[in-house]
Amino acid sequence: MKRESQAAYADPADYTRLGEEALVVHQRSPVSANDSLLVFVHGLGGSRYGPGATWGRFPAFLYDDLPEVDVGMYQYRTAAGRWAWTRSIALEDEARVLADLIRDQLKAYKRIVLIGHSMGGLLCKATIHRLLETGEHDALNRIAGLLLMATPQLGALRVPAWLGAFSLDARALRPHGELVRKINLSFENHIALDERVSTLRRTTIPTWAVEAVYDRWVDSLSAGIGLTSSRIKVVRGSHTSIVKPDDRDSDAYAWVRERIGIALDRFKYDVFVAAAMAGHSGDAEYADNRATVLAMIEVLKQRCGYTSVFYAGATMPTMEDFDPEELALRKDMAALRESRHFILFYPKRIVSSVLYEAGWALILGKPSIYIVGDDQDLPFLMQEASQAFVERRVRIFECPDRASVLERLTAYGPELFDASAA
């Protein structure tokens, strides 16, 4: 992987020598502060740079319009590029390369949107399938969205079946072929395509498709399979023209830019902190508990990089400031749904609705951390919550006092919710 520091998007001066670099990331400074990344993946016979580049001005427009986002350009061998046969690999193997890049080199990006054209869309889906297959849930959860541009999700009908014996590309594009079948089964069983869906049973990756009405390579069913009509944009244009916008008013460009915004802004809060409020014996105990939570929030923001944290008590210095129960429930549940992660702060055994919120966090599939004084203070089933999920969706930190809580959060830093962290 290579990084290019640019004030404005442009092809690298040495782009002809970057053929073996799978990914080039364009960023605005040598050490990018952005935590969001768009990755463009070209299709059959495409290229990321040069006069015949697949994407035209699409990346440049987005780089200019979304200054808080870096732009990555992915390159792989297809069509004539496969004449270097010793370096030609199947699309499924290429998906392993991209999956590992997302897992490792792109770990600093909390939100990654994949944008694939034609066979590149299949590669994006195959990459997600690979992450599912290998249980890389942290990497999977960082994929914030998927945009499929004229992608043959069921394969391409114009590719004759016999060609698969001679061409890796034809094998990947074969209608209802083995790779297409595996990818679609993974999505059908494990991926929720609508950003409004939060569930423990599926990983939510908001997905949309753009269909070209003059496309002679990808039929309408293949382009939009599995998606409701509201998640498909049908535009005038050919298979290749829809990814080369003339200007920012292009139907495809404007719609894609808006969907990128939806994907990146899916969560209003990075972290939801649930801490007991009404169950305290009085204002003094509540104030002490609140002070610890506020100190935690400061560490989450300054040391862990979570800039937006919800805590119901943030604006309630005394117990007299509490909202009525029904209003508090509505506010808390809305905020919980809009949060990416969940922290339960439960320093001692207490009757509190925070346990109810912890249960809902599991139902909604939120990666969770329980900070407790003693894990035996938790209800019995919650004591073993860290062992209940293959991907370590819940971790329990035993911290006897405020100092140890802050020390633990600081030690993990940006990797606080990384299940692979020790």
Q: What is the pLDDT of residues 183-215, one digit of tens each?
A: 999 999 999 999 998 887 899 999 999 999 999
Structure tokens at 280: 């305290």
Tokens 């040598």 -> residue:
30
Distances (CA, A) of 274 to 238, 358, 363: 51, 8, 15
Pick the CATH number of 2-264 from 3.30.465.10, 3.40.50.2000, 3.10.580.10, 3.40.50.1820: 3.40.50.1820
Give the C-alpha separation, 19 to 21, whole Å.
6
Residues 76-110 have pLDDT tens digits of 988 555 444 555 568 899 999 999 999 999 999 99
pLDDT (0 to 100) of residue 327:
81
> Collapsing DSSP states into helix, strand and coil, what is residue 176?
coil
Packing angle, helices 119-133 and 91-103, rounded to 10: 60
* Cβ neighbours, 10 Å, residue 357: 22
Report CA 311 to chain centroid distance, whole Å: 24
Sign of CA dihedral 189, 192, 198, 204: positive
Positions of E strands within 124-224: 143-149, 191-192, 203-204, 207-212
Structure tokens at 395: 């971790």
- Report the amino acid identity of residue 36: S
Tokens 């935590």 -> residue:
35
What are the domain boundaries of the chain? Answer: 2-264, 269-415
Q: Which of 103, 3, 41 is nearest to 419 (CA)?
A: 103
Give the C-alpha separation, 168 to 150, whole Å.
20
pLDDT (0 to 100) of residue 163:
52
> Collapsing DSSP states into helix, strand and coil, what is residue 309?
strand
Residues of the chain with pLDDT under 50: 82-84, 165
Above pLDDT 70, what percent of the chain?
92
> Collapsing DSSP states into helix, strand and coil, what is residue 370?
strand
Sign of CA dihedral 57, 122, 138, 99: negative
User: 269-415 has which fold?
Assistant: Rossmann fold (3.40.50)
pLDDT (0 to 100) of residue 301:
96
pLDDT (0 to 100) of residue 398:
96
Same fold, 2-264 and 269-415: yes
pLDDT (0 to 100) of residue 199:
83
Structure tokens at 14: 């040495």
Instruction: Report the chain's mean pLDDT, rounded to a whole number.
Output: 90
Q: Which residues is 191 bridged to in the sheet? A: 203
